[in-house]
Amino acid sequence: MGATRNAALEAWMTEHGHSANSLADVANRAVEQLTGRTGGYDGSSVRAWKSGRVRWPNEVTRKALEIVTGLPATELGFVPRGRAQSTPAPQQEDDMKRRTLVGGIAVAAAAAAAPGTAPRRIGMSDVDRLQARFTEIIASDHKRGGQPDIEQRAAALADEALNLQRAGSATQRVRSNLYAAAAAFRSSAMWAAIDGRRYDDAQRHMREAQALAEMSGDQAIKFRIWSHAGSMYRHMGRPADAFAANDVARNLHITRRDPMFASLGLARQAAIHGAAQDRNGTRRAFDQAQDAMDRAAPDAYRPVWLLAFYDEAELHSLALSAYLALGDYPTAEAHAHRCLSSLRPHMVRSRAITQTRLAHAQLAQGDADAAINTAMTVPATAATQHARVSRMLQEFGAALRATAPGSSTAHTWTEHTAAWRTSA
């Protein structure tokens, strides 16, 4: 009888955007904190865990994975020798454990900083626990992007990372990683504010994130912050500032080391060209972004935030935004369909945005029936609670009433939006 695949570990990796190589990398760092020596895991090690060939890893491996995930080995689908496969714990219990984990970090920091107590040693295990919280912020963003509670949680975790800096002694490597974690959380708060159209808050988070990233020296998080800044200025209707910010991201060394970063920078450059009404620039940047993505090594180590969202679907989403801004509606529609066909299931927010933009492209081509059918697939929660989606749907309704006033199509849309407001 063949080995049973470890569905729990696979689900955790999918939810948190880990490839086999990236999970091996963070597990190796956790082993270093436990033993003083870097672990020897690679992608094949993780594939052995996923396939069920290794049902109960050794103690060091189990402890390393617990540091990385915040979960005991049994909840990651591993089965102790001589014991039958256990029933997974309820989701409520998982949530409680994660809340306990984050609370424990805060309590430990406060205790270490309290007068009269000896400072404790802060290590990479503390950083790894924070990183586990970061993956939860990323997951929340892709499900319910733009919500104030996501922004607040991310900002609070940034402060928690900084509190650890003051809670005890640490090596320079650990301190740099804590600054990088704080910058990552602050950049997520920034993105949540951008996505919710709270631009003053976004700029405040941006300034703090940039300072933290400089102290960390982390190229990937610097890229994320400046790339977010380019998107923010594009949404604010300031293409010159958007180009300047995105150029900072694109000129970082990491874009030369990893074509996937170069691809994202170019894809966002294409969207800015679209907002600036530069058709040739849009086409050129999009083609370069596609070429860079094609050259990127599929299993290279990349941060969780990049793995979780940037792929072929996001590339076409940015092209859709660009061509919609240019008024090239057939091309925009083609990119929308390519995006929707390859979106991963966890990209709930991105799907709603793409459906809304597709509806605009179809309406602008005179196909009102197809347009409202597309718009009606947007979930009520996104339609009423996501600031960007809500605004685009309001603009869609206004355009529909302008092109087909008093029509049955317009009446159908009015009734549907009323039902949305009732159910939200």
- Residue that wins the pLDDT comparison between 131 and 88: 131
Q: What is the pLDDT of residues 127-161, one digit of tens each?
A: 888 888 888 888 887 877 778 888 998 999 999 88
Question: What was the pLDDT predicted at 142?
Answer: 80
Question: What was the pLDDT predicted at 103?
Answer: 41
Please tell me the pTM assigned to this model: 0.70
Residue 97, pLDDT > 50, answer no
Lowest mean pLDDT among 48-62, 122-136, 188-202, 227-241: 122-136
Question: What was the pLDDT predicted at 422?
Answer: 63
Residue 1, pLDDT > 70, answer no
* Alpha-carbon distances, residue 267 vs 57, 224, 352 (angstroms): 41, 14, 20
Q: Where exactly are the structural domains of the chain?
A: 7-75, 123-217
The token pair at 398 is 């206004």
Average pLDDT, the chain: 85
Residue 295, pLDDT > 90, answer yes
Q: What is the pLDDT of residues 345-382, one digit of tens each?
A: 888 889 999 999 999 999 999 999 999 999 999 988 88
C-alpha 124/C-alpha 21 separation (Å) is: 19
Question: What was the pLDDT predicted at 22?
Answer: 78
Residue 114, pLDDT > 60, answer no
What are the phi and psi torsion angles at 258 (to 5°)? Answer: -135, 110
C-alpha 234/C-alpha 270 separation (Å) is: 11
Residue 105, pLDDT > 70, answer no
C-alpha 400/C-alpha 356 separation (Å) is: 13
Band of pLDDT at residue 119, cut at 50, 70 and 90? low
C-alpha 360/C-alpha 205 separation (Å) is: 32
Q: What is the pLDDT of residues 226-262, one digit of tens each?
A: 999 999 999 999 999 999 999 999 999 999 999 999 9
Question: What was the pLDDT predicted at 33?
Answer: 65
